[in-house]
Amino acid sequence: MRDIKEYNPITVFIYYMAVVVVSMFTMNPFLHIISFIGGLVQFLILPAKGKLRTHIWYFVLGLILALVRPLFSHNGATVLFIINDNPITKEAFIFGLNSAIMVVGVLYLFRIFSEIMTSDRLLYIFGRISPKTALILSMGLRYIPMLRNQRKITADAQTAIGINKDDNVIDRIRGGLNVFSATVSWGLENGIVTADSMAARGYGEGKRSFYYDIRFKSRDAIVVSVTFLCLIPIVAALALDSFDTVFYPLFTIAEIDALALTGYISYGILVLIPIILKLLEKLRWKYLMSKI
């Protein structure tokens, strides 16, 4: 077995869409907690940059989402306390906390997805279905790091020649606007050059050909099959209201029966697939090293 990022892009796309869709279109707290834990653990083992900053931003966002709901929505029958004649209810607090866990968990999953699914892998998926959409998506993803890098180059250059000053807030705002204007101008000019270059190479003339050194292997079929097998009890539990959750006027959640338990276990396995693959790869590597 290999790491999930080494699998076919179609396999990765199907897997993460399955995990995210289940979390986004349900309100069951247990599913959201499983999704959050799985997304967090997957992100922790992912070799990505800026992890601490990401954790801080997601924590702040989750805290805001958890507090906004009970402060501005006063539905619910169980009053915890009153602030300025506004009742803070248990049901609104649980709803806000549940929403925060769901959003942050989905953001972790999307962050992992963006790290794995590079522009060329997205182009592989959508290239034959909609070549123009795939091209726009690929170019858009490409321009994000380019603009970020160009902004830093422009800011450093203007600081070196004394244009940007940090004497006061007005100077910092003026310097930021200068950098922004120069970066946008560079981006527009680069876009025109790219369009002319594509036209000169005959883009859009005749039928396009494709070449990808990516194959759908047996390991991909196994992961896709396991993904759909895990979805069967989850979809069945959703269809039969085994995951049913009501927040207002009283917070109630469906009793955990055999179908619901199977659905929770299946979703847990689904979320843990990349982690299981990572562990199997490490065990395989240690086994091969022991044979040397």
- Using pLDDT thresholds of 50, 70 and 90, give the confidence band for residue 265: very high
Question: C-alpha angle with apex 11: 286 to 240, nearest 5 degrees?
Answer: 110
Query: What pLDDT does residue 6 have?
Result: 82
| Residue 167 pLDDT > 70 | no
Tell which residue, 244, 240, 233, has the closest CA to residue 269: 233
Answer whether 29's CB lies under 8 Å from 102's CB: no
With 60 as the cut, is the pLDDT of residue 1 above it? no
Q: CA 65, CA 59: separation in Å to the nearest integer?
A: 10
- Torsional sign, CA 264, 267, 271, 272: positive
- Helix, strand, or coil here: 159? helix
- Would you state the pLDDT for residue 87? 82
pTM: 0.76
The pLDDT value given to residue 213: 65
Measured over the CA atoms of residue 230, residue 107, residue 145 and residue 193, the dihedral's sign is positive
Which pLDDT band, with edges at 50, 70 and 90, does 250 fall under? confident
Q: Is the pLDDT of residue 205 over 70?
A: no
Q: What is the pLDDT of residue 118?
A: 77
Each residue's pLDDT tens digit, 22-77 = 998 888 999 999 999 999 999 988 876 678 888 888 999 999 988 888 888 778 77
Q: How confident is the model at residue 165 (pLDDT cuts 50, 70, 90)?
A: low
Question: Looking at the chain, which runs of residues are DSSP E strands?
Answer: 79-83, 86-89, 245-246, 252-253
Closest CA to 275 of 5, 85, 56: 5
Q: Which residue has the higher pLDDT, 259 or 208?
A: 259
Buried-state track 127-161, b at ≥16 Cβ within 10 A, e below 16: beeeeeebbebbeebeeeeeeeebbeebbeebeee
Dihedral angle at the C-alpha atoms of 151, 153, 154, 155, nearest 10 degrees?
Answer: 80
Structure tokens at 6: 């080494």
8 with 220: CB under 8 angstroms? yes
pLDDT at 117 over 70: yes
Structure-block tokens of residue 165: 């000053």
